[in-house]
Amino acid sequence: MKNYLLTPGPTPLAPEVVAAMAQPILYHRAKEFEHLFEQIRIDLRYLYETAGDVLLFTSSGTGAMEAAVCNVLSPDQKALVVRGGKFGERWAELCQAYHVKLECIDVEWGESVEPAQVQRHLEQDTEIRAVFVQASETSTGVAHDVQAIGEIVRKFPQTLLVVDAITAMGVSELRTDAWGLDIVVSGSQKGLMLPPGLAFASVSEKAWSFVERAQLPRYYFDFRAEQAAQRKLQNAFTPAISLIMGLAVALQLIRREGLEHVIARHARLARMTRAAVRALGLELLAKRAPSAAVTAVWNPPGVEGKAIVRGLHDRFGITIAGGQGKLSGKIFRLAHLGYVEAGDILMGIAALETVLAQLGVAVTPGSGVAAAEAEFTRNDG
């Protein structure tokens, strides 16, 4: 049986990326690596739409999230966290681990935060030094309006905006400099079409001034050490060399397609998926501001929690994600990011129709596929 990934990470790998990672490994202090790394630094700026450095770490995306906390804050300083899903909770947990004082905006899972809420908190509490939010909350399939939040936070010179873009980077429009996003973190196993193991963080000029004053402990994830090393086309510590070799190719694939077209492709795949789900009589978790990376769907009434996930895997070799945290067993998630095209979505929806019918859900055969096809045709070209 063939295996297919429609999960929000890891995502399918482009064959060119796999081939690059299979090449003989480079020595990370040699000129060949430096030449590769120099182009990667240029291409990461293109991806991030920033003129500044994008730092690269060998870690999961959570490593870059931790770095975004410990590099800009000091003990007992206060942070504002948008807590609207599993990864919003992770921002809060990271702040707590470093004894940062916490103020939270708790958003119902499946809803996006109102930017005005952020503004009210900043106006009422001048001690807040950083706002932490997701661009795309992976656990709920919701996008937060980081552009609007950026416009608000830039009015507060004593406060940074830190964005988790791990499932948004290379998927949705995300203009780091133009939107005033001070730190933006991402990971390799999502829109970048790589295995897990690399994390990235852009740092604005405003954020660098915070880095110089921050007093939280840091060693491996020290922004200053990485910037100094990477400006010399090196890493502060031994990097995941094979992953970096694959990264160079993945970034070139994105450049070749064009970032604007990459974003448009993901938007179309997301619309196809949502149209299909609605045609099958299923309910989306995200009522508004759905993510272009992943679509979260409520289980039909009477269907056992993980039956759909299990059925797709066992019958068709298609792996999707279930719910996380308090949504475990209540939703399933169909991802459409990275090395994914319309045919992958049509295949996944056709298989979903079959599994739902086998579970006793009343569906009209072909209705989901037809809705997805209609959405594809409507936006083709």
Query: Quick one: pLDDT at residue 381?
Result: 46
3-state DSSP assignment of residue 248: helix
H or E segment to which residue 213 belongs: helix 205-213
H or E segment to which residue 164 belongs: strand 160-164
CB atoms within 10 A of CB 116: 10
Strand-pair category, 54-58 with 198-203: antiparallel
The pLDDT of 25-31, averaged and rounded, is 96
DSSP state of 359: T
Q: What is the DSSP string of 51-112?
A: SS-EEEEES-HHHHHHHHHHTT--TT-EEEEEESSHHHHHHHHHHHHTT-EEEEEE--TT-P
Identify the burial level of 140 via C-beta atoms within 10 angstroms of its C-beta, where 0-12 means exposed, 13-18 middle and 19 or more buried. Answer: buried
* pLDDT at residue 18 greater than cutoff 60: yes
The pair of structure tokens assigned to 11 is 């995502």
* pLDDT at residue 136 greater than cutoff 70: yes
**Digit-coded pLDDT (tens) for 283-294:** 999 988 999 999
Q: How many CA atoms lie within 13 A of 169 on its CB side?
A: 33
Cis peptide before 10 (omega within 30 of 0): yes
pLDDT-derived band of residue 353, with 50, 70 and 90 as boundaries? very high
Structural domains for the chain: 4-8+259-378 (3.90.1150.10), 15-256 (3.40.640.10)
CB contact at 8 A, 95 and 132: yes
CB atoms within 10 A of CB 264: 15
H or E segment to which residue 345 belongs: helix 342-358
Query: Helices 86-97 and 61-70 meet at what angle, rounded to 10?
Result: 40
Measure the CA–CA gap between 310 and 322, rounded to whole angstroms: 10
Measure the CA–CA gap between 65 and 67, rounded to whole angstroms: 5
* pLDDT at residue 380 greater than cutoff 70: no
Measure the CA–CA gap between 160 and 184, rounded to whole angstroms: 11
* pLDDT at residue 337 greater than cutoff 80: yes
The pLDDT of 258-283, averaged and rounded, is 98
Query: Quick one: pLDDT at residue 287?
Result: 84
**Digit-coded pLDDT (tens) for 195-254:** 999 999 999 999 999 999 999 999 999 999 999 999 999 999 999 999 999 999 999 999
The pLDDT of 159-178, averaged and rounded, is 98
Measure the CA–CA gap between 117 and 84, rounded to whole angstroms: 13
Measure the CA–CA gap between 180 and 38, rounded to whole angstroms: 25
